[in-house]
Chain A
Amino acid sequence: AQSVTQPDIHITVSEGASLELRCNYSYGATPYLFWYVQSPGQGLQLLLKYFSGDTLVQGIKGFEAEFKRSQSSFNLRKPSVHWSDAAEYFCAVENSGNTGKLIFGQGTTLQVKP
């Protein structure tokens, strides 16, 4: 069965520091991978997605993620975190067939220290 694991439930970084949020997936075929962000009181917003091609994908708000098939990982990175990045981040995988059914990880809450 497909699954997504985000090993870090809560991460705290200082403003201006670099960030890496981990995501591991379990899926038999080529995965379709996503990162979403959920800010307090707001709906989920897509940061970036990977379907095929270049394994390093760029997203909005300065985020990027790298797909590593050998490690079954799709980690999210940002070189310099801003206070407004404090939110909950979800990694998700979509099954084949382009149904839009996403399997989400449990989420990582990011806290940014001034």
Chain B
Amino acid sequence: GAGVSQSPSNKVTEKGKDVELRCDPISGHTALYWYRQRLGQGLEFLIYFQGNSAPDKSGLPSDRFSAERTGESVSTLTIQRTQQEDSAVYLCASRTRGTGHEKLFFGSGTQLSVL
């Protein structure tokens, strides 16, 4: 597609339920990132995939959070046993491999609300 696509755009769930968020990066982009943006705050790095390398999970806030990526395409972010503090916009970004600190292309995000 032309840009980074995320689905769903909005998700409302009950506390304790599991949710899956999807990200379709730009075709050909080898790197994929998940960020979280809580209300009134900046973006927090969650996880980073680069090609077939082991993902950098250093930003995941707890073991309830996990992410997978199939090759260099779709990624899913899973949050198990959701808590109210998980409510946020979850943003996905992708970029090409290179040496010039190429810019990230961001999706529009998934607004997650945990009731």
Chain B contact residue count (CB 8 A cutoff): 30
Interface pair B95/A100, CB less than 8 Å apart: yes
Interface string of B91-111 (1 = CB under 8 A from A): 101010011111111111100
Chain A neighbourhood of B100, CB < 8 A: 51
Q: B33's closest neighbor in chain A, by CB?
A: A100
Chain A neighbourhood of B56, CB < 8 A: 99, 101
Interface pair A102/B108, CB less than 8 Å apart: no
Expressed in whole angstroms, the minimum distance between the Cβ of A104 and any Cβ of chain B is 4
Interface residues of B in 1-57 (CB under 8 A from A): 3-4, 31, 33, 35, 40-45, 48, 50, 56
Interface pair A46/B103, CB less than 8 Å apart: yes
B42 contact from A42, A100, A105, Cβ within 8 A: A105
Expressed in whole angstroms, the minimum distance between the Cβ of B108 and any Cβ of chain A is 5
Interface pair B108/A104, CB less than 8 Å apart: no
Expressed in whole angstroms, the minimum distance between the Cβ of B95 and any Cβ of chain A is 6
- CB contacts between A and B, total, < 8 Å: 65
B99 contact from A9, A41, A98, Cβ within 8 A: A98
Q: A95's closest neighbor in chain B, by CB?
A: B45
Q: B102's closest neighbor in chain A, by CB?
A: A100
Interface pair B108/A43, CB less than 8 Å apart: yes
Interface pair A101/B103, CB less than 8 Å apart: no
Interface pair B42/A32, CB less than 8 Å apart: no
Interface pair A44/B45, CB less than 8 Å apart: no
Binding site for A on B (CB under 8 A): 3-4, 31, 33, 35, 40-45, 48, 50, 56, 59, 91, 93, 95, 98-109
Binding site for B on A (CB under 8 A): 4, 6, 9, 32, 34, 36, 41-46, 49, 51, 90, 92, 94, 98-107
6 A-B pairs closest in CB distance: A43-B106, A104-B42, A44-B106, A104-B43, A46-B103, A106-B42
